[in-house]
Amino acid sequence: MLNFDFNAHEIWFVTGAQLLYGGDAVKHVDAHSNEMVKGLNDSGKLPVKVVYKGTVNSSAEVTATMKAANNEAKCIGVMTWMHTFSPAKMWIHGLQQLKKPLLHFHTQFNKEIPWDTMDMDFMNLNQSAHGDREFGHIVSRMRKACKVVVGHWQDPKTQEKIAVWQRVCAGWADAQDMLLIRLGDQMNNVAVTDGDKVEAEMCLGYHVDFCNIAKVRDYQNDVTDAQIKELVDVYKKEYDCSAIKDGSAEYEQVVKAARIEIALRRLLKETGAKAFTTHFDNLDGIDQLPGLACQRLMAEGYGFGAEGDWKTAALARTMYVMGQGLPKGCSFLEDYTLNFDGANSAILQAHMLEVSPMIAEHKPKLEVHKLGIGGKNPPARLVFTSKQGEGVASTVVDMGNRFRLIVNKVDCIKSKPLPKLPVASALWIPRPNFEVGAGAWIIGGGTHHSAFSYDLTVEYWQDYAEIAGIEMLTIDENTTIDSFKKDIRINEVYYMLSKALQ
């Protein structure tokens, strides 16, 4: 599995205070901070360990801590909390330095007011209510990207919000050294999958390279029969292979698919790529479109985009990391065909072949069929229908002057088998309904490809857009076409002006 190692990373917790209240107060602040951080870590809710980095009482201490956070590769985000009043001018230089994602935690040590015992000493020590506002002011004044989480630190709901942000920090950190390789260019003439790769690297972190398909072809020659047999045995164990009889023409195609998979995986490993794209029209020396290989590599964590769609491939990798270990899974998908059925009008999601088996409802079936595009031999593929339930579809498009993230809440409903179209598929109704959901997506300029997840929610993508500093358009139960268009017009002005002011 190409997983981001949550255990090898940490979130720093920095408590703000000042020295006005004497040495005893500092000791209390430290003890409370330690107890809170321990409580957060022991909650079992957080995927990444929180590490208490001490209390900061001056501008020099804040700046030193933020610089250290930047330079510590293990640190993927910084949480701040003001135990006492912490005059916020002391945060200016440190926040100017900070390059890691920031979460401001508005909480306090005690859950309830100790009505009978509270005195002025208590009040001097426990000042989060106004200390956190002073801090919030400077963050806002500096236009610094920040997630604000409000809630008591022992409340599971609060912890879950921190967990969401931590997962986004992981996805963000993972993207900062992501290499994506394009086996071929974008499909000719297609607009939406194209874009500015330089801007993408500056803005979103990942690096996009070209790779000649001849590399896969060369690696194929090194694949041994023993490696192929081992992999075909894995297929037999993991999938329903009843349609593939040993020694049949279909079996031979599965063997060739296994050879492609081994070669492709080796290429990805040797280049260190975390995401890749293919193109059905760029398969010289390859027997068949790598369907099965792409499906399996996606389930291992590789970001994938078809027809050279590198933006969706990178997003799919980030989506995988953010949802790592969560139960229902994610996949690259394409809006395939529409089903008009009144209130249940829905969009069939599929692709020629490349849908991740992570979203399968039942054991996928391994099949081989002719593909009427690309002029290659019949490819092996996993055939299944998806689980049901809520999820989010996401895409990033290049608007010329900025990247736009579009996120649509969708409900996957029971799909029907497609005996004459043996591909993997999902069937979803976009929120708030088919008409408004699909309409808004089109108005927003969204792709026909998307990165889909059952486990993520709109909140994950809000946190991601905040960290990346990119535009986000949400389509959910509250969307109307009118308000959506207004958002787009307002954003147009906002991004134009904010760029001019930089």
Stretch that binds Mn ion, among 92-100, 300-308, 398-406, 451-459 (CB under 5 A): 300-308
Stretch that binds Mn ion, among 136-144, 205-213, 328-336, 373-381 (CB under 5 A): 328-336
Stretch that binds Mn ion, among 115-123, 199-207, 301-309, 361-369 (CB under 5 A): 301-309
How far, in Å, CA of 427 to CA of 425, rounded? 7
Question: Closer CB to Mn ion, residue 220 or residue 282?
Answer: 282
- Are residues 463 and 403 in contact, defined by beta-carbon separation less than 8 angstroms? no
Q: Is 134 helix (H, G, I), strand (E, B) or coil?
A: helix
CB of 307 to Mn ion, least distance (A): 5
Side-chain half-sphere of 33: how many Cα atoms within 13 Å? 28
Output the six-digit token pair for 2.
């190409």
CB of 190 to Mn ion, least distance (A): 9
Binding-residue total with Mn ion (CB under 5 A): 3
Query: For 171-224, what is the HEC assignment?
Result: HHHHHHCCEEEEECCCCCCCCCCCCCHHHHHHHHCCEEEEECCHHHHHHHHHCC
Stretch that binds Mn ion, among 86-94, 106-114, 188-196, 307-315 (CB under 5 A): 307-315
Question: Closer CB to Mn ion, residue 297 or residue 306?
Answer: 306
Question: Closer CB to Mn ion, residue 250 or residue 309?
Answer: 309
Residue from 36, 95, 306, 467 binding Mn ion (CB under 5 A): 306
| Interaction residues for Mn ion, span 98-137 (CB under 5 A) | none
CB of 449 to Mn ion, least distance (A): 6
Is residue 334 part of the contact set for Mn ion (CB under 5 A)?
yes
CB of 363 to Mn ion, least distance (A): 26
Question: Closer CB to Mn ion, residue 74 or residue 448?
Answer: 448
Question: Closer CB to Mn ion, residue 334 or residue 455?
Answer: 334
Cα–Cα distances (Å) from 252 to 266, 323, 382, in that order, read 21, 36, 16
Query: For 309-357, what is the HEC assignment?
Result: CHHHHHHHHHHHHHCCCCCCCEEEEEEEEEECCHHHCEEEEECCCCCCH
Stretch that binds Mn ion, among 321-329, 330-338, 362-370, 379-387 (CB under 5 A): 330-338
Is residue 451 part of the contact set for Mn ion (CB under 5 A)?
no
Q: Which residue is nearest to Mn ion (CB)?
A: 306
- Please report the beta strands in 352-448, taking only residues with DSSP state E, as ranges in sequence order: 365-368, 380-383, 389-398, 403-413, 426-430
CB of 316 to Mn ion, least distance (A): 13
CB of 444 to Mn ion, least distance (A): 19
CB of 304 to Mn ion, least distance (A): 11
Q: Is 229 exposed, middle or buried (0-12, 13-18, 19+ CB in 10 A)?
A: exposed
Question: Closer CB to Mn ion, residue 94 or residue 305?
Answer: 305
In whole angstroms, what separates CA 394 from the centre of its chain?
A: 9
Is residue 289 part of the contact set for Mn ion (CB under 5 A)?
no
Question: Closer CB to Mn ion, residue 261 or residue 334?
Answer: 334
- Are residues 361 and 384 in contact, defined by beta-carbon separation less than 8 angstroms? yes
Any idea of the CA torsion for 350, 352, 354, 355, to the nearest 10 degrees? 20
CB of 128 to Mn ion, least distance (A): 50
Stretch that binds Mn ion, among 126-134, 150-158, 189-197, 327-335 (CB under 5 A): 327-335
How far, in Å, CA of 55 to CA of 26, rounded? 8
In whole angstroms, what separates CA 471 from the centre of its chain?
A: 16
CB of 113 to Mn ion, least distance (A): 58
Binding-site ranges for Mn ion (CB under 5 A):
306-307, 334
